[in-house]
């Protein structure tokens, strides 16, 4: 979703104000949190901000048309001037049934100045804001708008490093492997307790006092109640959902029963909300998801007999890989961006140059290797997929 952030940065002030209003309104429309009268007041306030963003040159939609167009409408078509050629032209906030898209929560972080009001995501944003203030990354007066993933990662990792390298590595790996913990498990990790990263499970990701974990990332799946009493469970990560992390929860005489709606046959166990804490959405998005491939690669390479250190030298890069006989070293920086063009731009902007790093992207981005390799040509760096790296280490 790096393309989302880049597209938002290209908007002018009025377009950003309209996007703010659309995002909060979409979350209010799709959420059952809070009482109906409060959600209606928020929707009317969002429409007022939306109308003001259009000024006197363009005619903004009436409230009825505004609410209708949020369902199934493309983001770019909702904004003043309808920005053409934008990545936002590919995104929808709500589907035709009014269910939230995978892009909606991300846009609440990337775009909105009013995200703390948004049902479902507001509590997560407030928790993130408090965490960043606590570790000294944001002055008390700083607003919630446009908190970047880099800011969050830097703040969290700096705070963990203060506890020492061992605590930093174990704490960061815990946030990747176990984005949901029992309160007792959390109490055993001093660095995570002091960081204050975990919080209660969001109401939008629980049903009847229970929650279920995505089999691919172990985080809480979004719970959407259907009119027939059935609850749809979906991983917030679009790729995980497309790969099959989708379930249906139905009430039975023995309790709730989960059944697959996708290709994954493994069915997670419903667990009680009481006694569990989870990373809020922003930390799952910017710490857990990027770390999954890093930790998985470490495990695969260790099985091959390599010596691997995660996040060495103060996180200068992600993996230090050594095959002792014959001696060979790989300095690996893992890049998991869904937008290869945004990743290419990021590689160009490396302040010190990539040097002899080996950039590793997920196998599903193999088709973009020629583009990324052109970007680093002449720098001494290489770009491989994770499968390529494993094959190289195995062969060495």
Q: 324-340 pLDDT, tens per residue?
A: 877 889 999 998 876 66
User: Any idea where the domains of the chain sit in the sequence?
Assistant: 2-120, 129-200, 203-272, 304-395
pLDDT at 174 over 80: yes
- The arrangement of strands across the sheet holding 307-310 comes to 307-310, 319-323, 328-334, 358-361, 382-385
Q: What average pLDDT does range 228-233 have in this prediction?
A: 90
What's the pTM value of the predicted model, to 2 decimals?
0.84
Share of the chain above pLDDT 70, in %: 90
CB 197 within 8 A of CB 131: yes
Using pLDDT thresholds of 50, 70 and 90, give the confidence band for residue 112. low
Q: 142 pLDDT exceeds 70?
A: no
**Better-scored residue on pLDDT, 32 or 47:** 47
Burial class (CB in 10 A: 0-12, 13-18, 19+), 370: exposed
Q: What is the pLDDT of residues 302-327, one digit of tens each?
A: 999 999 999 987 777 899 999 887 78
Alpha carbon distance 120, 310 (integer Å): 34
Between 370 and 134, the higher pLDDT residue: 370
Contacts 24+ apart (CB under 8 A), 65-69: 66/25, 67/25, 67/29, 67/43
**How would residue 354 be classed by pLDDT, with cut points 50, 70 and 90?**
very low
What are the DSSP calls for 367-380, one per residue? GGHHHHHHHHTTTT
Structure-token pair, residue 379: 């720098």
C-alpha neighbours within 13 Å on the C-beta side of residue 314? 4
CA distance 180 to 287: 13
Contact 112, 52 (CB under 8 A): no
């Amino acid at each position: 979703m790096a393309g989302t952030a880049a597209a938002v940065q290209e908007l002018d002030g009025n377009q950003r104000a309209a996007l703010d209003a659309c995002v909060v309104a979409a979350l209010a429309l799709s959420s059952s949190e809070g009482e109906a009268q409060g959600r209606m007041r928020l929707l009317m306030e969002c429409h007022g901000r939306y109308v003001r963003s259009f000024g006197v040159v363009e005619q903004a939609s009436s409230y009825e048309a505004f609410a209708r167009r949020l369902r199934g409408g493309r983001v770019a078509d909702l904004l003043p001037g309808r920005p053409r050629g934008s990545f936002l032209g590919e995104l929808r906030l709500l589907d035709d049934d009014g269910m939230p898209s995978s892009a909606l929560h991300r846009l609440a972080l990337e775009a909105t100045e009013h995200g703390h009001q948004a049902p479902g995501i507001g509590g997560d944003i407030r928790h993130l804001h408090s965490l960043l203030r606590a570790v000294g990354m944001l002055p008390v007066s700083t607003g919630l708008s446009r908190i970047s993933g880099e800011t969050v990662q830097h703040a969290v990792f700096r705070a963990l490093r203060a506890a020492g390298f061992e605590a930093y590595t174990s704490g960061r790996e815990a946030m990747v492997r176990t984005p949901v913990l029992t309160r007792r498990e959390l109490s055993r990790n001093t660095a995570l307790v002091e960081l204050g990263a975990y919080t209660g499970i969001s109401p939008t990701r629980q049903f009847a006092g229970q929650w279920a974990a995505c089999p691919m990332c172990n985080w809480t799946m979004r719970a959407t109640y259907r009119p027939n009493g059935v609850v749809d469970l979906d991983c917030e990560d679009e790729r995980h959902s497309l790969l099959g992390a989708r379930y249906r929860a139905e009430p039975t005489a023995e309790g709730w029963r989960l059944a697959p709606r996708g290709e994954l046959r493994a069915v997670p166990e419903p667990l009680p909300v009481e006694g569990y804490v989870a990373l809020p959405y922003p930390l799952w998005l910017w710490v857990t998801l990027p770390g999954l491939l890093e930790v998985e690669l470490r495990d695969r390479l260790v099985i091959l007999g390599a010596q691997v250190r995660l996040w060495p030298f103060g996180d200068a890069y992600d993996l230090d890989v050594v095959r002792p006989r014959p001696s060979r070293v790989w300095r690996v920086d893992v890049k998991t961006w869904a937008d290869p063009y945004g990743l290419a731009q990021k590689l160009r902007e490396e302040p010190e140059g990539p040097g002899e790093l080996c950039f590793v992207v997920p196998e599903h981005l193999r088709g973009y290797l020629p583009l990324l390799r052109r970007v680093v040509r002449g720098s001494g760096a290489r770009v491989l997929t994770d499968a390529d790296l494993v094959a190289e280490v195995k062969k060495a």
